[in-house]
Amino acid sequence: MTPYVSRNNPYGEDKVTEACSLFGMMDRSGRRFSGEDIIRAIANMHDRGNGLGGGFAAYGIYPGYADALAFHVMFEEKRHQYEVEEFLKSHFKLIMDEEIPTRTTRGVTRPPVLWRYFLEVEPENLGGLAEEDYVVEKVMAINSTIEGAFVFSSGKNMGVFKGVGYPEDIGRFFRLEEYEGYIWTAHGRFPTNTPGWWGGAHPFNILDWTVVHNGEISSYGTNRRFLEMYGYHCTMQTDTEVMAYAVDLLIRKHGLPVEMAAKVMAAPLWSEIDRMPEKERETHTILRQVYSSLLMNGPFTVVIAHQGEMIGLTDRIRLRPLTVGVKGPMLYLSSEESAIRLICRDLEKAWSPMGGEPIIGRLGESLPAEAALKEELVASKRGGA
């Protein structure tokens, strides 16, 4: 009898086309919770990765330094740290610094030097720049000009923790069960076209924006060249980096709503735009013309987060999976529904969104799908009465 695997893989191909695992969870009431559950959830999708990258982003974890920038920096060697610290002291006010707490973990080997710095921007240093633009400029300077040093997290009251290994090992290595945040995102990596190294693991970050990604950005070259015109430099050797800079440019610098930024990155097909009502057709045509170089071609699912929001988005024809789950104020985004149900067995609703449809969780707000769910429950109760 032909083995099951052969029947479903007749050509003997071993390329994984839907790998990488994503998970995000947010308490929209603002309640903070530990990283324990997200480690369990991403570990449930262990077989989607190959041990060459794992990482997490967490929001609300530094309440004692909530107004300070938290720079997480990795150094290939200790000698690279001196140059970065001199740079930071000349451009920021240093409040506190320390080694990022870690523990010896099987599966995590040869880590770089990992340090965090809590910083303030002094107004006299801005030279007419907005504080956020100043910070982006300095992060880009460190990452592109100082050898052996990478700023991999640069927001306020949040942090990125990532490295080479399976995500559950990275989570234990960074002792994430000891932190509490109201948004957590996680990634298990299966790199196909780019190297597996500590800086190239997900999430990717600038300011408080973070992105985890499953898929491939085949438009990377075009996207990168467009972003370089605005001062962003891609130094992490992976296509996903453009996503983080694109959302910063579109939403923070250019002021686009999240929903409109999603239509730039996962734009509707021209045939779909042609069928839209006139006003909507005009808006989408302008977006396609102005931001044609930020259209993200290729299969992708991303979970994007920043202070107060968590966003799930797939490419316009949904070539990578995304499942949404809700229970009370909790919003879950995952590559697989099983990971959600592992940590929340009594979901109120779970579904797969349409391609290019952003799922946006905001502090204090419900999703449109939840309003529909409540209407269904009310209707069913009336029917029963």
State pLDDT tens for residues 80-92: 999 999 999 999 9
For the cut 90, the answer to whether the pLDDT of residue 193 exceeds it is no
Q: How many residues does the chain have?
A: 385
How much is the pTM? 0.90
Contacts of 14 (CB under 8 A, 6+ apart): none
For the cut 90, the answer to whether the pLDDT of residue 44 exceeds it is yes
Q: Which of 91, 25, 95 is nearest to 56 (CA)?
A: 25
Cβ–Cβ < 8 Å for 181, 157: no
* Exposure string for 51-83, b = 16+ CB within 10 A, e = fewer: bbbbbbbbbbbbeebeebbbbbbbbeeeebbeb
Which carries the bigger pLDDT value, residue 90 or residue 192? 90
In the block, tokens 């009502």 appear at 277
**Helix H or strand E segment including 332:** strand 330-334
* Exposure string for 275-309, b = 16+ CB within 10 A, e = fewer: eeeeeeeeebeebbeebebbbbeebbbbbbbbbbb
Residue 384 confidence (pLDDT): 53
The token duo for 312 is: 């799930």
Please pick, among 6, 18, 20, 40, the residue that the annotation labels catalytic. 20
State pLDDT tens for residues 278-333: 999 999 999 999 999 999 999 999 999 999 999 999 999 999 999 999 999 999 99
Contacts of 179 (CB under 8 A, 6+ apart): 34, 35, 58, 61, 159
| Section 351-376 average pLDDT | 83
For the cut 90, the answer to whether the pLDDT of residue 5 exceeds it is no
Contacts of 8 (CB under 8 A, 6+ apart): none
Task: Provide the β-strand partners of residue 33.
Answer: 181
Residue 66: phi and psi, rounded to 5, are: -60, -30
**Confidence category of residue 19, pLDDT binned at 50, 70, 90:** confident
**Confidence category of residue 61, pLDDT binned at 50, 70, 90:** very high
Alpha-helical segments (H) within 161-300 = 167-173, 220-228, 241-247, 258-265, 270-274, 278-290
- Looking at the chain, the number of H-run helices and the number of E-run strands are 12, 18
State pLDDT tens for residues 143-173: 999 999 999 999 999 999 999 999 999 999 9
d(CA 121, CA 96): 14
d(CA 102, CA 111): 10
In the block, tokens 């067995």 appear at 345
State pLDDT tens for residues 225-239: 999 999 999 887 788
Give the right CATH number for 14-378 from 3.90.10.10, 3.60.20.10, 3.90.1660.10, 3.40.50.300.
3.60.20.10
Our CA angle for 318, 323, 325, nearest 5°, is 150
Give catalytic status of residue 344 as yes or no: no
| Section 26-50 average pLDDT | 96
d(CA 208, CA 189): 21
Q: Where are the domains of the chain?
A: 14-378
